Amino acid sequence: MLNRRTWSRGAGARRAPLQAVPVQATRYLAVLPWRGHAAAAGLAAGLIALSACGDSSGSNNAVISADGGVADAAPLDASRPDTGPEPLRGPGVYLRGATVITAEEGAAPREGEAVLVRGDRISSVAPPLPVAGDELQVLDLTGMTLLPGLIDSHVHLATAPSAVDRALVRCLDYGVTSIKDVASPLVEVLAARQRIAAGGEGPRIVTTGPAFTAVGGHPISTLGRDDPAWARTFMIEVTDELQARAEVRRLHGAGVDQIKVVYTNCRTTCPRLAEPWLQAIVAQAHELGLKVVVHTNTNDDVQGALRAGADGVEHGVTAELISDETVAQLVATRAVYVSTYVVYAGATNSINMRANLKQLNVAGARLAAGSDAENSGTGWGVTVAEEFAALLAAELTPLQALAALTRTGAEHLGLGPQLGTISPGKLADLIAVDGDPLSDSTALSRVRLVLRSGKVVRNTLPVRPH
């Protein structure tokens, strides 16, 4: 153990043998292995000598002893060039020159750093290195911001059954590399997910398949009032607890990623699912390892969903101001609150939604965001950038708003260990945008580069001279 006496240079202290520290014009400091506790005092004295760039004789070559002495040493071999760091080689993608926003919790933007992608993974985030050979694709992102791929946590592919592929392509155009589909015909959405997983063009898909609702509940008696048969292609009307549990097991067996339940009475205009049945659905899903998200509109809806054990609420509280009790429950349970602000833009309750988001953020609730595409007033991909601006209007900081569209979104989709931040080892879902989203709320609408799983799928970068 080191103690005060150990470091003493008094008469009783053990003197360390000479150790050499070559110094050449302050460029090199080679420290040999120390063999005594007196080294620290000697090193301190040696550093003083180093600061003078030589010994008292003016020589640029010196040795520093462990007891602080300085003496001449043989010159270093000046004929050996300083070659610098080893250049990067081999296949991959090298992104350099951008400001890197990793979206890691508490991380500040990293100016001028470079991101190396090998295969489908992020290999490193570090100061730029030289590149050798022509296997590594080098992309100059000077003046741009590099971000994790955006995540749309609430879409409806069922609303575009004849144009699913077009919708998925549009998502990539705007930097959306992952989506959560909440209520679609089972066969169609699983087929789309499989096409993407096999290398097809589009964002990765997390899906609930058909959603659960009360008999005659939303959206069968609302959006589907003129064609309830259409609505029933992506909804399951619950008649009792046993049927509800059986349907959860069926969806799990088919391969859905999560379960969605509609739990709202449409402000008294449609029936709401019985709470015991909601609880049974959540319990069955959790037994099978599936998360459950719940469509809500009021404080009472959200509180019922949280009592049942929901992992997230979709839309949240839209019809009224959120209560302190609801906020406290959301914070305590760590359930994710998925904002879909844009789809309500211009409506009276959009004012409530902005105030609710501000209150939730101040309280520390977990926030994600979704477009609700393709409902009225929304579009595939483009609405995610608009949601970013809406979160800023609710007084989230730019980094908090970006986290909702990246890190928290990935966690909500159950992909947190794989996505959502620019971190070594994670999947290389990356986008580059013109400008700085920390100072320009429109920057996310100017996507110039998109990588999904390490593959460049969009590139409109300017041609720069070499």
Quote the CA–CA distance of 279 and 305 in Å, as a whole number. Answer: 8
In Å, what is the CA distance from 343 to each residue of 131, 383, 386? Answer: 47, 9, 10
- 277 and 201 fall within a common domain: yes
Sequence-ordered list of residues with C-beta below 8 angstroms from that of 462, at least 6 positions apart, any chain: none
301 occurs within a structural domain: yes
pLDDT of residue 268: 72
The last residue of a domain, from among 24, 46, 75: 75
- 10 and 29 fall within a common domain: yes
CATH code of the domain covering residue 221: 3.20.20.140
80 occurs within a structural domain: no
Q: Is residue 31's pLDDT more than 70? A: no
211 occurs within a structural domain: yes
β-strand 430-434 against 144-148: which pairing, if any? antiparallel
Sequence-ordered list of residues with C-beta below 8 angstroms from that of 374, at least 6 positions apart, any chain: 155, 156, 159, 160, 167, 380
pLDDT of residue 307: 98
Short-list 346, 353, 347, 364, CA closest to 393: 353
- 128 and 236 fall within a common domain: no
Torsion sign, CA atoms 154, 159, 165, 170: negative
Can you tell me the mean pLDDT for 134-161? 91
Secondary structure of residue 258 in the 3-state scheme = strand
* pLDDT higher at 280 or 226: 280
- 283 and 389 fall within a common domain: yes
425 occurs within a structural domain: no
233 occurs within a structural domain: yes
- 347 and 436 fall within a common domain: no
Condensed to tens digits (0 to 9), the pLDDT of residues 70-113 reads 444 445 455 556 667 899 999 999 999 999 999 999 999 999 89
Q: CA-CA-CA-CA torsion for 65, 67, 70, 71, nearest 10 degrees?
A: -60
Q: CA-CA-CA-CA torsion for 336, 384, 388, 322, nearest 10 degrees?
A: -40
- 176 and 299 fall within a common domain: yes
Condensed to tens digits (0 to 9), the pLDDT of residues 158-173 reads 766 567 888 999 999 9
* pLDDT, the chain, mean: 85
- 347 and 323 fall within a common domain: yes
- 22 and 170 fall within a common domain: no
β-strand 291-295 against 258-262: which pairing, if any? parallel
Q: Report yes or no: 64 and 44 within 8 Å, Cβ to Cβ.
A: no
Which of these ranges, 35-39, 105-109, 187-191, 383-387, has the smallest mean pLDDT? 35-39
User: Could you tell me the pLDDT band of residue 230, with boundaries at 50, 70 and 90?
Assistant: confident
Condensed to tens digits (0 to 9), the pLDDT of residues 266-318 reads 877 889 999 999 999 999 999 999 999 999 999 999 999 999 999 999 999 99
- 215 and 105 fall within a common domain: no
- 374 and 246 fall within a common domain: yes
How many domains are contained in the chain?
Answer: 3
The last residue of a domain, from among 51, 75, 99: 75
CATH code of the domain covering residue 95: 2.30.40.10
The last residue of a domain, from among 28, 57, 75: 75
Q: Report yes or no: 396 and 187 within 8 Å, Cβ to Cβ.
A: no
Can you tell me the mean pLDDT for 2-22? 39
User: Could you tell me the pLDDT band of residue 346, with boundaries at 50, 70 and 90?
Assistant: low
Quote the CA–CA distance of 344 and 355 in Å, as a whole number. Answer: 14
426 occurs within a structural domain: no
- 371 and 224 fall within a common domain: yes
Can you tell me the mean pLDDT for 366-371? 97
Quote the CA–CA distance of 408 and 400 in Å, as a whole number. Answer: 10
Q: Cis peptide before 374, with omega less than 30 degrees from 0?
A: yes
pLDDT of residue 119: 97
The per-residue DSSP string of 73-113 comes to -PPP-TTS----SPPB-SSEEEEESSEE----TTPPPBTT-
Element (H, E) at 277: helix 275-287
Quote the CA–CA distance of 74 and 62 in Å, as a whole number. Answer: 8
β-strand 92-96 against 136-140: which pairing, if any? parallel
pLDDT of residue 390: 94
Domain containing 243 equals 150-419
CA atoms within 13 A on the CB side of 162: 0
- 123 and 226 fall within a common domain: no
Quote the CA–CA distance of 418 and 302 in Å, as a whole number. Answer: 29
424 occurs within a structural domain: no
pLDDT of residue 220: 84
Quote the CA–CA distance of 224 and 218 in Å, as a whole number. Answer: 8
303 occurs within a structural domain: yes
* pLDDT higher at 112 or 257: 257
pLDDT of residue 282: 98
* pLDDT higher at 393 or 344: 393
Condensed to tens digits (0 to 9), the pLDDT of residues 379-426 reads 999 999 999 999 999 999 999 999 999 999 999 999 999 999 999 999
Look up residue 133 and give its two tokens.
């050979």
β-strand 61-64 against 23-24: which pairing, if any? antiparallel
